[in-house]
Amino acid sequence: MSRKKKFGEREKVDTINTGKYRLGALAFLIIAVAMSRYKSFNLIGGILGGMDKPLPKSPILPTLDQWAPSLEDIEAAGTLHPSDIPPLPVFGDYSNETVIINGRFLQVAEGRVDHKGLLGGAAERAQSYFSVIPEFATPAEVEQILAILNDPDAVQFDEDPDTVDGMASHELYVDTVDFERGGRVTSSLKRDSTKEGMEERKEIRSKLKAIMDNVQDRLTQYVRFTYPSSPSLTPCYSLVRRYRSGERQTHDVHRDWNAKVTAVVSLSEYGEEYRGGLYVARSRSERMVVALGRGDTLVHDTSLLHGVKVEDDGPSSTRWSWIIWFRDSEKCADNSKEWFKDCPPDDAVCLSMYADSGAGGDKVEMIRLHHEAAKMGLSTSMVKLARAYLNQLPSHLPLDLKKAADLYREAAARANEPDAIYGLAQLTLQGFVRQRDDTKMGHLLQEVAALLERAANANHQYAMFNLGVMHRYGYAAAWGGEKDAKLAAEWFENSGLPEGYYAASTYYSSIGDNERSKKLMSRAKRMGYGTEWRKRARIAVGSGGAGGVDINMAWPPFFQTGVVPDKF
């Protein structure tokens, strides 16, 4: 399959060490060494009245009896703080080479990402590749693009729900195949969905295109050369995204379903204008930042898991990116349903992608494919299956909590899969997953806390949010901890979710820090808090495009007061 070609047909000329991309390796080591974070603490349960109540049992579902985090896990897990989560390591394992395209020499750093947790032959197949071309867009081109984007009169960016995370997108389509076909974009919440919106953006589009078209032509040559089995690769979508303080700074882990090949041109300088940024991922938990400077361009195919996390360094930190999605059709036809149709039987990632693309509309086949991929160790397929067994995703599978819990456990063990760990926290809170004959509420809540901390540590935004809930309402008191509204606010803010900014804002107003409260409230609103679309989009996309997951956990009424946390 072409997507697995390791740039094999490329003409190799020389190996050049592009300093910056080598330096990454050292940074990775330093950060990896600094990764220990949990403090130990004592297990003290049952100090509050009412805590010896039996576990809450679901009126519908039986209590399962087979899994909980090990006692060692729980004992090792002290109170995690957002500041304990290390910044993402920087990817550094490049091989550098020079390629010649139409007589032009290009230095290219090539990276390989091995999917995590796969077994035997499947592991051999489970790689994605990407390339970074330093300053593919020249400093002058980037300057000109930025001058247009930074113009105070520049039109506003879209605030419709993003298809990956359901938060305000903060993007601007420069060109799409939809425009060319005379139609407007499909989402009715995009500014371009109205004639006036299209008109309003006409000028900025033509200014941007005047510079971008040339870069795009060069890029087309490069991607056709790099993916020779797709000779008709054509740029079909071009958009600019913005990440800055007071708005979106994350874009959860995902694949670009809309593109056979993607190019991301960074318009900002790593280390100077922003930290963090675009990352590539071995699993949803293991993410590595690609340190992109101005004009540096990352090229990858559909299989690469990736996302964005810009560190919140205050107003001075902004990252702009320009994204081009290529399709394998000069007319930009959507062939995506065909891309993963003929997977080799031991290619778990390919099978799961075909399942995720709808498996030709065959729902039973979708489940079968995820089963196959899960058997080979693919944690994301285990999560999909678990949610199907929980009837959170539509499928023919019967409700089976034991299977769901086993799949979550396996995914957690194989790839530290944050969605699986969060899923286990949900099941545990509902009293469905236990192995000890321990029926004390305090111990159950402690297990939930340990799971949420593990998931949060692997950057699960809903887990971070629920650590906020846990500390705000004082559930830690169940095992000797205390209510900690400040820590709660830190978790809420750190979740990067509009609901989190809102909840943090209420804390700061409660302690009289109105300025901070106002800032957070405005951020929450800018990202969609309180809108009808945000709620709908959040449920539709779930966590990182994997539907069937809820931000609201089944927190029991608080021991003495009977207070139940607000639902968001």
Minimum distance from residue 323 beta carbon to ligand AKG (Å): 5
DSSP string, 370-432: HHHHHHTT-HHHHHHHHHHHTTSS--SPPP-HHHHHHHHHHHHHHH--HHHHHHHHHHHHTT-
Amino acid 394 reads: P
Instruction: Return the number of the residue (227 or 274) whose C-beta is nearest ligand AKG.
Output: 274
Minimum distance from residue 564 beta carbon to Fe ion (Å): 37
Instruction: Return the number of the residue (241 or 472) whose C-beta is nearest Fe ion.
Output: 241
Partner interacting with residue 308 (select from ligand AKG, Fe ion, none; CB below 5-8 Å by kind): ligand AKG
Instruction: Return the number of the residue (264 or 444) whose C-beta is nearest ligand AKG.
Output: 264
- Residue from 256, 286, 356, 447 in contact with Fe ion (CB under 5 A): 256
Instruction: Return the number of the residue (45 or 111) whose C-beta is nearest ligand AKG.
Output: 111
Vertex 464, ends 459 and 470: CA angle to 5°?
155
Closest C-alpha among 313, 198, 219 to residue 265: 219
Token pair for residue 338? Answer: 């065909």
State yes or no: residue 278 binds ligand AKG (CB under 6 A).
yes
Partner interacting with residue 264 (select from ligand AKG, Fe ion, none; CB below 5-8 Å by kind): ligand AKG
Q: Cβ(327)–Cβ(321) under 8 Å?
A: no
- Residue from 264, 452, 455, 497 in contact with ligand AKG (CB under 6 A): 264
Beta strands in 103-164 (DSSP E): 104-114, 127-133
The H-or-E segment that residue 96 falls in is strand 95-101
Minimum distance from residue 329 beta carbon to Fe ion (Å): 20
246-277 b/e (C-beta count within 10 Å ≥ 16 → b): ebbbbbbbbbbbbbbbbbbbbbbbbeebbbbb
Minimum distance from residue 279 beta carbon to ligand AKG (Å): 9
Q: Cβ(218)–Cβ(136) under 8 Å?
A: yes
Q: Cβ(168)–Cβ(528) under 8 Å?
A: yes
Give 521's contacts (C-beta < 8 A, 6+ positions apart). Answer: 501, 502, 505
Instruction: Return the number of the residue (169 or 426) whose C-beta is nearest Fe ion.
Output: 169
Sign of torsion, CA 115 116 119 124? positive
Token pair for residue 383? Answer: 């999560």
State yes or no: residue 308 binds ligand AKG (CB under 6 A).
yes
Give 49's contacts (C-beta < 8 A, 6+ positions apart). Answer: 559, 560
The window from 177-185, 248-256, 390-398, 463-471 that contacts Fe ion (CB under 5 A) reads: 248-256
Instruction: Return the number of the residue (132 or 445) whose C-beta is nearest ligand AKG.
Output: 132
Partner interacting with residue 159 (select from Fe ion, ligand AKG, none; CB below 5-8 Å by kind): none
CA distance 531 to 165: 15
Instruction: Return the number of the residue (263 or 450) whose C-beta is nearest ligand AKG.
Output: 263
Binding mask 222-261 for ligand AKG (x = CB under 6 A): -------------------x---------x----x-----
State yes or no: residue 321 binds ligand AKG (CB under 6 A).
yes
Binding mask 50-79 for ligand AKG (x = CB under 6 A): ------------------------------
Residue 169 CB coordination number (10 Å): 26
Q: Cβ(353)–Cβ(335) under 8 Å?
A: no
Binding mask 323-352 for ligand AKG (x = CB under 6 A): x-----------------------------
State yes or no: residue 309 binds ligand AKG (CB under 6 A).
no
Minimum distance from residue 306 beta carbon to ligand AKG (Å): 6
Residue 403 to residues 39, 384, 389, 410, 440, Cα–Cα distance (Å): 32, 12, 7, 10, 25
CA distance 320 to 292: 11
Instruction: Return the number of the residue (424 or 497) whose C-beta is nearest ligand AKG.
Output: 497
Question: Which residue bears the tokens 């750190």?
Answer: 494
Minimum distance from residue 307 beta carbon to ligand AKG (Å): 7
Sign of torsion, CA 538 541 543 548? positive
Instruction: Return the number of the residue (274 or 408) whose C-beta is nearest ligand AKG.
Output: 274
Partner interacting with residue 321 (select from Fe ion, ligand AKG, none; CB below 5-8 Å by kind): ligand AKG
Instruction: Return the number of the residue (256 or 447) whose C-beta is nearest Fe ion.
Output: 256
Residue 224 to residues 231, 238, 306, 308, 452, Cα–Cα distance (Å): 5, 17, 22, 26, 44
Tell me the residue number closest to ligand AKG, measured at CB.
321
Instruction: Return the number of the residue (10 or 306) whose C-beta is nearest Fe ion.
Output: 306
The window from 236-244, 250-258, 280-288, 297-305 that contacts Fe ion (CB under 5 A) reads: 250-258
Minimum distance from residue 472 beta carbon to ligand AKG (Å): 32
Instruction: Return the number of the residue (251 or 260) whose C-beta is nearest ligand AKG.
Output: 251
Residue 152 CB coordination number (10 Å): 4
Count of residues binding ligand AKG (CB under 6 A)? 9
Minimum distance from residue 91 beta carbon to Fe ion (Å): 16
List residues near ligand AKG by CB under 6 A: 241, 251, 256, 264, 278, 306, 308, 321, 323
Interface residues with Fe ion (CB under 5 A)? 256
